[in-house]
Amino acid sequence: MWFAGAARRRPVAGRPAALRLGFDLKPGMRVGLYGGSFNPAHEGHAHVAETARRRLGLDRVIWLVSPQNPLKSGHETAPLPARMAGARKVARGRNMIVSDAETRFGSQYTIDTLRALKARFPGVQFVWIMGADSLASFHRWRGWTQIMAEVPVAVVSRPWISLKSRSSPAARRFAAARAPIQQAKLLPGTDPPRWVFLTGPLNFQSSTLLRERMRGGRN
């Protein structure tokens, strides 16, 4: 049975693919890391990424397309190349980078990916980006408290779930580390644990609804 808990440190040295990530980052850059299955990617994802980029003053947002989310069934997950292609269609602009870094690192969990990227790019000011729907279930992620200790976190409001997410176990556990929204642009470079909840206009697209529509079109 899979359960949330502390994550072991997993070395990625010796994996040739990990040497070719397809992007380069310089010390001092402010970079958002936006992970997910993107199954499929849609304008709601783009809204979260762009909101975080603009409100935090980020130089880049890297979409980390996961090989397989441990919390989701692989039965309905499209192949990685298809999800990568879909993400590239909606991740518009030179500041948006779609990456299969998790596959190249061989990391199954976000905590492993974060540690690998921080080791690979010292001096880069990383921020983890998630929608409010992810914050609601964040306590089920492997090493979730360790993630909060690794990098600052930006949570972007999403329809129907924002109130629930702000009273979630993770939000309550790290309530004292929450930054005022007025200090959002100070988040990159601050010492974790530190997180901010970004409110604003909502985008109502979701991967679940898109998959249901696609299934309906095949019937």
Q: Quote the pTM value.
A: 0.84
- DSSP letter for each residue of the chain: -----PPPP---TT-GGGG--S----TT-EEEEEEE--TT--HHHHHHHHHHHHHHT-SEEEEEE-S--TTS-STTPPPHHHHHHHHHHHS-STTEEEE-HHHHHT--SHHHHHHHHHHHSTT-EEEEEEEHHHHHTGGGSTTHHHHHHHS-EEEE--TTTHHHHHTSHHHHHTGGGBPPGGGGGG-TTSPSS-EEEE--------HHHHHHHHHHHH-
pLDDT in tens, 48-92: 999 999 999 999 999 999 997 655 555 678 999 999 999 999 998
What is the per-residue pLDDT for 5?
A: 54
Along the 219 residues of the chain, how does pLDDT read in single tens digits?
Answer: 234 556 555 544 445 555 688 899 999 999 999 999 999 999 999 999 999 999 999 999 999 999 976 555 556 789 999 999 999 999 988 999 999 999 999 988 999 999 999 999 999 999 999 999 899 999 999 999 999 999 999 999 877 666 678 889 999 999 999 999 999 999 999 999 999 999 866 545 443 443 344 444 444
| 65, 87 Cβ separation under 8 angstroms | yes
Q: What is the pLDDT of residue 70?
A: 58
Give the pLDDT of residue 149: 98
